[in-house]
Chain A
Amino acid sequence: MAMAQDELSPVLQEFDGLSLGNYNPYRDEMAPLMISSEGIVATDITKKFFAAAATLEPGTLIKDGYFTLFESVGALEIMDPKMDSGCLAPGESLDEDYDVTRPLLPSEVLGIIDQLLCLEMAWHLGYPLSQTILTNVYIEAMLMPCPTTIQDADFIRDRPEGTPRDPMFAVLRAYCLGLLKTCWYVNERIKFEHYYEEEDFVTNTYHRSLLDNIDRNEIRDEIMEARKTIHNLGHRISEDMAQALGFRLELRTAFLRAIELSELRSNPESLSLPWSQMKAIWEPINKSRHLGTPVPEAFSTKIQRRLASTMPPRPIVQLSFEETYGHFKRLFNDGIDVLKVLDYTDSQSLLNFVQTFQAQKPQPLVYIRALLQFFLFKDMIILGHLSIRHVMDDDLSIVVLPLSKLLDPNNDRCEVPHDARFAMSHQMELFRQRAAQSYLDISRAFCQNRCRVRRTLCHSIQDWETVQMDAEEIDQLLQIQLDEKPMMYQTSLSVESGAAGGEPAYSLPLSSWAYLYKLRLMEWIVQLGFELDTYAPDELAGMYWYLSYLAKMRASHVERIQKFTVARVNEIRLTPHTALPDEMEAKYQRSMSYLRLTLLDAAVTWEMADALSCLYTVLGRLGAIVAPPRPYSSDALRYDIRMKPFAPIGLPELPSYDVFEHASTQAETSTANLLEFASRAVGVVKKGYEALSKLSEKEAFTANCHSRWVAGTKNCFKSVIATSIAISTVKTAVDKATIRGRDVSVALKVDIPRPDKLYHEWWIVPKVTEMLTS
């Protein structure tokens, strides 16, 4: 159970400044309240209240039905120093008595700036301003009272006119101006996008204005001035010191510039310049920090009492400079990388970009994630220049409808209601309107923290279930307009059951598209379950079986799409008896290439999942993985909870517990056969990942993210090798035991690494070692 974080309550804040010292609730005569207003009849209930209260025992709780746990958690105990923000220890002063006008040495300015860098990063990581930047006395003096002009924005106000600023004050002031303005922009960006308050980030500014009234150009000029001031100091400070301070000011200018340019959402090359600049000066900044002298007294938790917050002062979040260094370095690299999304190539590359970018460990900071959302979705214009329709049609053309009349933009020009083109245009528009949000939400979901991605996808699959159903209705209307003839289609299932010839079927392109996404979302939910360490060791055999089940569904669905696409395009080819024009051929090949890629990806997924499922089944049989006793639970009930997100889905229907249990224990298959099967599957996967990692950017649909994707694929390949080693270790042990006789048990030690110790988070490969037995 967690405490509620500080919910801003202006009313309680008001009480903060009131003296309650003379208040005695038990005095007999209360001063009568003089309420006079039309329609109000005041009744003094004081006596009644005390009389009633006197009948209660201490600790009795009187509450109405609407008093929630949330409210009880929010309650404070006056005079408890951990809850009462006004409670002071004997002799403690309310405020810090730090003199912001005292002269500062250059090394002290550097020390304060470096401490501010650490606090800035702590804020980026999710800690509130109150425990980070707003603990600095110079910042507080600059922000209170709220400055409305650039001249006012200073920790020393009312400077006599004409007297120049002390050079060191000018440097620190300029740094703080740049810092605060950056924080304002960062805060606004995050607030505007989808994020989780307090979980990802705290946007509360505690009624402090982060210089929102002051123009960034004025601030930039002040920073420039300060850099000149350092220059003019000449030999009065060491060259190292002058450089060190200069770099820090340059960092502030560059950060503001990076933010300013990002608003353009185009031309990533030029947008990345200030990010590269920050990356370059970050090294000398790190190397010069020894020149600084810390000034811990310039930071105080007491300032929190002056902020619009009911929380008592909480400790300053102290990141070390080493940690800060690492996080900023990541921030600058991610800042450069995220811009590459702006170079749009195709819809599938875009999705792969978002996924591979967000799958990085550690995940990019929330500001970068917000920036990615801003690039993707601002004003419903994708990446600053594409309509949603453009991206969706691109996707439909890749996945299900290459060269289809349905995507012909000329349909829109047809104004004859009886014309098929008119109907196509209308129905397609209806479909886009129906599916656009769900489609964009996939990318939006992947911009959240990993825990939320999984939770959000669990909702999305229900949404896609209805998108698929609605799409099927539109498909049926469109097949009339297209005069589509049904095709005899044989599913792999009907082949197995011996039904020859298959059944007449329609292509149903739009619902096929939706179904494919739903299947992918379902796989991702299971895979994120592995990544987030959600499953117990004895669940792994079953969960890998289910993943394999879903991947097989996807493969057979993609095969179906493939068959219909090939047949349809053949018709186009045959009608004019000529080869397709280059551009059309390219579109067709692009779609074929995508479908092959998806089939290969589905195949490696199911084979690898099968291999691991069999391996875990064997480890369970051999007693190397032991389920806990679980006296209050049953396997079937746990299956209910585990599969809860999938239960409402009609297609593919959740397998019954019996089917699941049968499939994940494979009781009728011998251990030797299971291991044999696992080995064979691993062999197939190995070849599959080898083939995948050789694909070009174009074949893999990984424009602008190919290296990240290849790295991920190679990590999967390492997981395969590790799996094959684990399988042979088990095999050897089992073989030995078989030779030595039936009663000899196999002694294996199994170590299941945590996800961050795996080659790839989605493949939990056990480390198996044989234990020596006498």
Chain B
Amino acid sequence: MDATRMAELPGELQYIQYEHKLEAQYLPAIRALISKDLSEPYSIYVYRYFLYQWGHLCYMALDPIDASLIGVIICKLEPHASHSPPTLRGYIAMLAVSSSYRGHGVATSLVKKAIHAMTQRNADEVVLETEETNIPAMRLYERLGFLRSKKLHRYYLNGNSAYRLVLLLKSIDPDSAADLSLDDVDHIPS
């Protein structure tokens, strides 16, 4: 795979925030890029579910020359109900970088932009799941400060397990420690 990778990026990539008016231009490319790594595709409704509600938490990395899509991150940010008082929880749903552009920190830049945007919107924490075999992804997130909070047995359709990664942005209020066990059921069904 490395043989097909670029030695250098074609100049400074452009990072832009997604907006609804960009749907026709970029949604097909976003879907194509993300579907590549999935055994089962998401329907268009999944993308719209995120992009329509949290387009401001979606960032795209574009080729500076032809503005084609190189990488994308898709997130959401919502009150998380199982805690009282609820936390404002950011969730990184999808992250993908075109294979020939990997190894240049594109994914890290996208995650940083997303964290930054969520912090600006007062997020308490950011969470995600990643396949246990996806070492590069775990390394990326752990370098930024995420911690593996629990392992999820056979979480993916291919039978692989996952880790829940958590980045706490604000201290947990000790008075709200009513249900702080690891088992908060999450938003993404599996």
Give the B-binding residues of A (Cβ under 8 A): 1-5, 57-61, 68-70, 72-73, 75-77, 80, 82-83, 125-127, 196, 198-200, 314, 449-452, 454-456, 458-459, 462, 532-536, 628-633, 636-638, 640-642, 644-645, 647-648
In chain B, positions 1-51 with a C-beta closer than 8 Å to chain A are 20, 23-24, 27, 38, 40-46, 48-49, 51
The answer to whether B182 touches A61 (Cβ under 8 A) is no
Top 9 A-B pairs, shortest CB-CB distance: A633-B145, A2-B190, A630-B145, A61-B52, A72-B49, A451-B153, A75-B45, A628-B143, A3-B40
A581: shortest Cβ distance to chain B, in Å? 47
In the assembled complex, the Cα of A72 lies from the Cα of B148 at a distance in Å of 27
Distance between Cα atoms of A584 and B19 in the complex (Å): 79
Q: In the complex, A5 Cα to B157 Cα: how many Å? A: 7
Task: Please name 10 pairs of A and B residues whose Cβ atoms are closer than 8 Å in the assembled complex, sorted by A.
Answer: A59-B51, A69-B188, A533-B132, A630-B143, A631-B145, A632-B115, A633-B146, A636-B171, A638-B168, A648-B177
Given A61-B48, A61-B53; A2-B167 close (CB under 8 Å):
no
Chain A residues contacting B149 (CB-CB under 8 Å) are 534, 641-642, 644
Partner of A69, one of B151, B159, B187: B187
CA distance A126 to B153 in the complex (A): 11
For B127, the closest partner residue in chain A by CB is: A641
Q: How long is the Cα–Cα vector from A631 to B119 in the complex, in angstroms?
A: 13
Flag if A59 contacts B181 (CB, 8 Å). no
Do A2 and B181 contact each other (CB < 8 Å), given the known contacts A58-B24, A632-B144? no
Residues from chain B with Cβ under 8 Å of A73 in the complex? 42-43, 46, 188-189
- The 8 A CB mask of B164-190 against A (1 = contact, 0 = none) is 001111111010011011110001111
Contact residues in A for B168 (Cβ distance below 8 Å): 633, 637-638, 640-641
In the bound complex, residues from chain B placing their C-beta under 8 Å from that of A199 are 152-155, 190
Q: Is A77 a contact partner of B44 (Cβ separation < 8 A)?
A: yes
Tell me, rounded to whole Å, the shortest Cβ–Cβ distance linking B25 to chain A.
11
The reply to whether A3 and B42 form a contact with Cβ atoms under 8 Å apart is yes
User: Could you tell me the dominant secondary structure of chain A's interface residues?
Assistant: loop
- Residues on A with beta carbons closer than 8 Å to the beta carbon of B171: 636-637, 640
| Chain B residues touching A, range | 35 or more
**Cα distance, A151 to B186, chains bound together (Å):** 49
B76 to chain A, nearest CB (A): 8
Q: How far is the CA of A642 from the CA of B182 in the complex (A)?
A: 10
Structural contact, B94 and A454, CB atoms closer than 8 A: no
B88 interfacial contact with A, CB 8 Å? no
A758–B161 Cα gap in the complex (Å)? 20
A638 touching B145, Cβ below 8 Å: yes
Chain A residues near B174 (CB-CB < 8 A): 647
Residues of B within 8 A of A2 (CB): 129, 155-157, 162, 188-190
Q: What residues of A have a CB within 8 angstroms of the CB of B148 in the complex?
A: 533-536
Closest partner residue, chain B, to A2 (CB atom): B190
Q: Tell me which residues across on chain A come within 8 A of B129, comparing CB atoms.
A: 1-2
CB distance from A211 to the nearest CB of B (A): 28
The docked-state distance in angstroms from the alpha carbon of A455 to that of B181 is 8
> In the assembly, what is the distance between CA of A451 and CA of B147, in Å?
16
Q: Shortest beta-carbon distance, A640 to chain B, in Å?
A: 5
Binding site for A on B (CB under 8 A): 20, 23-24, 27, 38, 40-46, 48-49, 51-53, 76, 93-94, 115, 119, 128-129, 132, 142-157, 159, 161-163, 166-172, 174, 177-178, 180-183, 187-190
The total of interchain contacts (Cβ-Cβ below 8 angstroms) comes to 178
Provided the pairs A199-B153, A628-B143, A632-B144 are in contact, do residues A641 and B44 lie with their beta carbons within 8 angstroms?
A: no
A455-B183 in contact (CB<8A): yes
Cα-based distance from A449 to B153 in the complex (angstroms): 7
Which of chain A's residues have a CB closer than 8 A to the CB of B20? 57, 59-60
B142 contact set on A, CB distance < 8 A: 536, 628, 630
Chain B: which residue is nearest A456 at the CB level? B183
B169–A3 contact, CB under 8 A?
no
Q: How far is the CA of A77 from the CA of B42 in the complex (A)?
A: 9
Q: Considering only CB atoms, which chain B residue lies closest to A452 in the complex? A: B153
**Are B150 and A534 neighbours in the complex by a CB distance under 8 Å?**
yes
Given contacts A72-B48, A636-B171, 19 further A-B contacts (CB under 8 A): A58-B23, A61-B48, A69-B188, A73-B189, A76-B43, A127-B159, A198-B154, A199-B154, A455-B182, A534-B149, A536-B142, A631-B145, A637-B168, A641-B166, A642-B149, A644-B172, A644-B181, A648-B177, A648-B178
B183 to chain A, nearest CB (A): 5
- Given the known inter-chain contacts A70-B189, A632-B167, A644-B182, please indicate yes or no for A59 contacting B52, CB distance below 8 A: yes
- Contact between B23 and A59, CB atoms less than 8 A apart: yes
**From A1, A75, A125, A449, residue with most partner B Cβ within 10 Å:** A1
Nearest chain-B residue to A126 (Cβ)? B154
Q: Verify A59–B27 contact, CB threshold 8 A.
A: yes
Residues on B with beta carbons closer than 8 Å to the beta carbon of A5:
157, 190
**A458 and B182 contacting across the interface, CB-CB below 8 Å:** yes
List chain A residues, Cβ under 8 A from B48.
59, 61, 72
* Cβ 8 A contact of A83, one of B41, B76, B147: B41
Q: How far is the CA of A533 from the CA of B162 in the complex (A)?
A: 11
Interface contact A3-B180, CB-CB below 8 Å: no
Chain B contacts for A1, CB-based, 8 A: 93-94, 128-129, 188
Q: Could you tell me the distance between the alpha carbons of A532 and B151 in the complex, rounded to whole angstroms?
A: 7
CB distance from A60 to the nearest CB of B (A): 7
Asked if residues B147 and A641 are in contact (CB atoms below 8 Å), the reply is yes
Residues of B within 8 A of A314 (CB): 40
Query: Is A644 a contact partner of B180 (Cβ separation < 8 A)?
Result: yes
Q: Could you tell me the distance between the alpha carbons of A5 and B188 in the complex, rounded to whole angstroms?
A: 11
B24 nearest CB neighbor, chain A only: A58
Measured between beta carbons, the chain A residues less than 8 angstroms from B155 are 2, 199
- Smallest Cβ distance from A734 to chain B, in angstroms? 28
A-side contacts of B154, CB under 8 Å: 126, 198-200, 449
Closest A residue, CB atoms, query B39: A3
Q: A1–B166 Cα gap in the complex (Å)?
A: 14
CA distance A70 to B49 in the complex (A): 10
Of B53, B151, B190, which one neighbours A451 at CB under 8 angstroms? B151
CB proximity of B118 to chain A, nearest CB, Å: 10
Residue of A nearest to B130 (CB): A1
Taking CB atoms, residues of chain A closer than 8 Å to B190 are: 2-5, 198-199
Question: Is the beta-carbon distance between B187 and A75 smaller than 8 angstroms?
Answer: no
| Min distance, Cβ B141 to any Cβ of chain A, angstroms | 10
Question: Whose C-beta in chain A lies nearest to the C-beta of B94?
Answer: A1
| Contact A459–B38 (Cβ < 8 Å) | no
CA of A5 to CA of B156, assembled, Å = 9
For B44, list chain A residues within 8 Å (CB). 77
Q: Which residues of A contact B152 (CB under 8 A)?
A: 199, 451
CA distance A642 to B128 in the complex (A): 16
| Closest B residue by C-beta to A72 | B49
Whether B180 and A631, one on each chain, are in contact in the complex, defined by CB atoms closer than 8 angstroms, is no
Contacting pair B181 A458 (CB below 8 A): yes
Which single residue of chain B is at the shortest CB-CB distance from A637?
B168
B122 to chain A, nearest CB (A): 15
